[in-house]
Structure 1
Amino acid sequence: MIKAKNIHKFYGNLEVLKGVDLSIKKGEIVAIVGPSGAGKTTLLQILGTLDNPAASKNSTLSINNQNLLELKDKSLSKFRNQHIGFIFQFHQLLPEFTALENVCIPAFIGNSSKNEAEKKAKELLFFLGLSDRIHHKPNELSGGEQQRVAVARALINNPDVIFADEPSGNLDSASAKKLHELFFTLRDKFNQTFVIVTHNEELANMADRKLEMKDGKIIN
């Protein structure tokens, strides 16, 4: 499902990723753990096509057998919109829009009609227990509710894989537990793949597989 080989990344003279190899199966929930500065977020951003690895003839990166390193910017943006969802530590909701409007944005970018996008967004928000919050703006929602809206936004285009960077890092323990359980419910319902960078030991131990990073490499 996801295959990466010999992924390097430099910031100036600093080598942040030092030849990372990994393979992730469809429907798998994988946690990436390790100390701050190990390269976890950089790797996640490259896997999710938000950043580029260092140019190398020996590097490969594919999702669903699509070689992402061969795609130009426009094609890469289209692939990202259709196949990839993102959940961040800070929900990144647009404050001037309602929950429903925030969830619809990726669908609009993908040229869905207003009726089609809103129908799917409402289904997701209902499924996530937010049926009475769809017209509320982010500042009217709790932290856990905001993050569930962000999850709905990540799911709106039925992505094959969801990349999450410290998704529960800004939540209290009860909300974090509910979010962690939600990922597994979603996987079981939609067979989606989750790749999660986390410092949360409970979430990491729940995952199907745990990859530990240190000094720019996966060490297990």
Structure 2
Amino acid sequence: MLKANGIHKSYGSLKVLKGVDLEISTSEIVSIVGSSGAGKSTLLHILGTLDRPDLGSLEMDGKKLLELKGEEMARFRNERIGFIFQFHNLLPEFTAQENIMIPGLIRKTSPDKLKMKSGELAELLGISHRLDHKPSTLSGGEQQRVAVARALINSPAVVFADEPSGNLDTHNAKGLHELFFTLRKELGQAFVIVTHNEELATMADRKVEMQDGVIL
């Protein structure tokens, strides 16, 4: 489904990725682990089209992603890719439901459809009773579930998560980890997760270890 070949990336004289090859299958959960500075987040951002490699190729379902530019790339990312970040990145002035709906509004999906789908996702994620609350009134675990729902609102093929449980306590982290597998079963998305959490890493279908800009 997603295929990266020969990915190189440098920032100035610092070589961060040194020829990475990786394939992600449909509905597969893959964890990416390694010490700080190994290149995990850089690889995740390139796989998710948030950054571009210096060399290499990136394809999803046969489409050459690095040939897409501007609005075409933004539209593809919005429709086919979801993101979950460590710090949630929720907009404080909007309710939980409004935050969830934002990628769908960008896609120009009707608000009525988005309200229905955001409600269904919130029910699945156990936050349906918090939809009208602003992020500041939500717990860390609730905020992260809102971020997960937002990542799923456009039914992407793959969701990229960068340290998704990094700011959660043990109980909420465990719940989030189990949630990914429930979502895969219910909705069929692939998940690619950068994590330092060994429990989450070993739960994945496949664990990819990085060191010094390469996959071991």
Same fold? TM cut 0.5: yes
What do you get for the CA RMSD once the two structures are aligned?
0.6
1:41-190 equivalences in 2 (<5 Å): 41-54=41-54, 56=55, 59-190=56-187
> Please, which runs of 5 or more residues in structure 2 have no aligned partner?
none
- The aligned residue for residue 203 of structure 1 is 200
**Partners of 2:2 and 2:59 in 1: how far apart?**
6
Q: CA deviation at 1:119?
A: 1.2
Aligned residues: 216
Tell me the equivalent position of 2:189: 192
Equivalent-residue separation in structure 1 for 2:109 and 2:185 (angstroms): 26
- The one-letter code sitting in structure 1 at the alignment partner of 2:155 is N
What is the Cα deviation at residue 94 of structure 1? 0.4
Given candidates 203, 207, 210, the residue that maps to 1:213 is 210
Instruction: Determine helix, strand or coil for the equivalent of 2:193.
Output: strand
* Runs ≥4 residues deviating over 4 A: none
Paired residue for 1:29? Answer: 29
Question: Cα deviation per residue 1:24-62 (whole Å; 9 max; x = unaligned)?
Answer: 1111100000000000000000000000000x3xx2101
Provide the secondary structure at the position in 2 that maps to 1:132: helix
Gaps of 5+ in 1: none
Q: What TM-score results when the alignment is normalised by the length of structure 2?
A: 0.99
Matches of 2:128 and 2:46 in 1, distance apart?
Answer: 34
TM-score (norm 1): 0.97
